[in-house]
Amino acid sequence: MYLDKRIENYFYNTGHIIGKGSYGCVYRGVDQNTQTEVAIKIVKKAKFEGDSYSQKALVNEMIILKKLHSKNIVRLLDVCESQSNYYLIQELCQQGDLKKILKQQQLQEQEAIKILYDILSGYQILLKNGIVHRDIKPANILNSNGVFKIGDFGMATQLCQQKMLNSRVGTPLYMSPQVQQNSNYTSKCDIWSIGILYFECLYGATPWFHETSTKLLKKIYEEPLEFPIQPLVSDVSKSFIKSCLEINEKDRIDWIDIYNHNLFRLNPFKKIDRNSQYIITRIRNIIKIRKFNINQLIQNISLPKKLKINDINLLLQSIDKQFTLEDAGLVFDKLNHNNMDTIPFESILLWFSQNDIIQSSVQDNYIPFLTQQDQSRIDNLLDDLIIRIRLNSISIIEICNEYEVSQEQLISLNKFEQILLNIDTQISKADITLLYRKIKQDNQGIVKRESIQKMFYEESELHEPDDDFSVSPVHLPIQGPGLKLQSCNNIERLS
């Protein structure tokens, strides 16, 4: 293969385009150091002029791909930069994408099930981390020697760090009705996309089609789902598709039921690992979707002062029937610090309060009230700081250790300022004070190390061991040809 361009130790041919992602062309290249072939996505900086949304989407893709490592997710190997471009060096999937396959051949049902299985295997990692892809379609499913992988995360977001999603992103043909209408939606939007994709794998076409999104949406609402007579498809596949393509999200199949569906009875999925943070994330989503009043539920439900696992199970089941006795056991173990047969009822109230599930009855009259404008500013500050933390592998725990901040020590505004300046040297005193007020308001007037870690998702996302999940080391860009990110101060333009 003739190679006419180079960025750092990567060579590629500008005439050999192998695909197009959300924000750039993808070329086939070679890593000179290892002599392995790679895919190089080139994104022109000029595309971002005056477009902060696209800038954030690219940073988002880098953050997410840096974090995810699964055989069914396209791996990000490196990121480089020249004066004109960003270069995302990715694992090469030599057999192209699923869109290409569907154009060339009609899949047998067992082949389609295998592809669906690979997609859902990769999606398990997204679920573990609260990530919604939002652009599942054949062109974003890559084939590497028969192993199918989810790629192109430019539209992805992390649900646990967002308010209820309502951005209209993705490809209309595969978008759920909620996404098309800019109405509230959850990770179930990807279940709809998977249902459309699986239908297309089986029948060679999508169940609804129109060139304009408005008329496509009209068809979805007015034309019932129908299955062609040919080819012959099993009832269990049709059942799976029907459950994915329920128009109302509340009627659509849940992720847990997807992974337990009879379609996979001959090759069941490994059970999705759950932890206490999964339970908190799920409760938060239930609150957002159903406008659930957990404060009222706790008042109505009759629970003893000392809780056993069955009592916690009763509480979780009252919130959502999908919770299991195993989930109750996880919560019990999380809160059972003294290794007793029961835990105080107050323990679960405090845990809910610390994780913004219920409002604490304890109020600090000396904390100034945060206005809606203050809260909006806080949300933006947190987004920026979390991006810096992710891109630069900053550890709040390590910063606290460096400043000798113990678990029980109360943190003053001055100490809090020192911690934040390690994340962003340009952050203003006013913004630091605003974030400090927010932490005090959320933690009954007390600022401790744990409350700061919780604000930046440190405990749940950066320091929780996971045998099936590992972070691959990756370098990220700073300005200048062929250089790599070394300091968070160099990503002002992106964040």
Residues annotated within a binding site: 45
SS3 199: helix
Handedness of CA 363, 366, 370, 374 (dihedral sign): negative
At residue 32, φ and ψ (nearest 5 deg) are: -65, -30
SS3 147: strand
Tokens of 24: 């750039």
Closest listed residue to residue 456, CA positions, set 429, 471, 438: 438
At residue 209, φ and ψ (nearest 5 deg) are: -145, 135
Residues 6 or more apart whose CB falls under 8 angstroms from that of 205 comprise: none
Residues 6 or more apart whose CB falls under 8 angstroms from that of 96 comprise: 18, 19, 142, 143
SS3 103: helix
**Tokens 């998702």 found at:** 457
SS3 262: helix
DSSP state of 202: H
d(CA 344, CA 349): 9
**Tokens 């020249």 found at:** 82
Tokens of 39: 């895919």
d(CA 177, CA 4): 45
> What Cα–Cα distance (Å) separates residue 361 from each residue in 307, 353, 364?
21, 9, 10
d(CA 149, CA 168): 24
Annotated binding-site residues for ATP read 45
d(CA 127, CA 140): 18
Active site (catalytic) residues: 135
d(CA 299, CA 301): 6
Closest listed residue to residue 119, CA positions, set 61, 60, 176, 198: 198
User: Burial of 121 by CB count in 10 Å (0-12 exposed, 13-18 middle, 19+ buried)?
Assistant: buried
- Kind of pairing between the strands at 36-44 and 5-7: unpaired
Closest listed residue to residue 175, CA positions, set 195, 193, 152: 193
User: Burial of 450 by CB count in 10 Å (0-12 exposed, 13-18 middle, 19+ buried)?
Assistant: middle
Whether the CB-CB separation of 269 and 124 falls below 8 Å is answered with yes
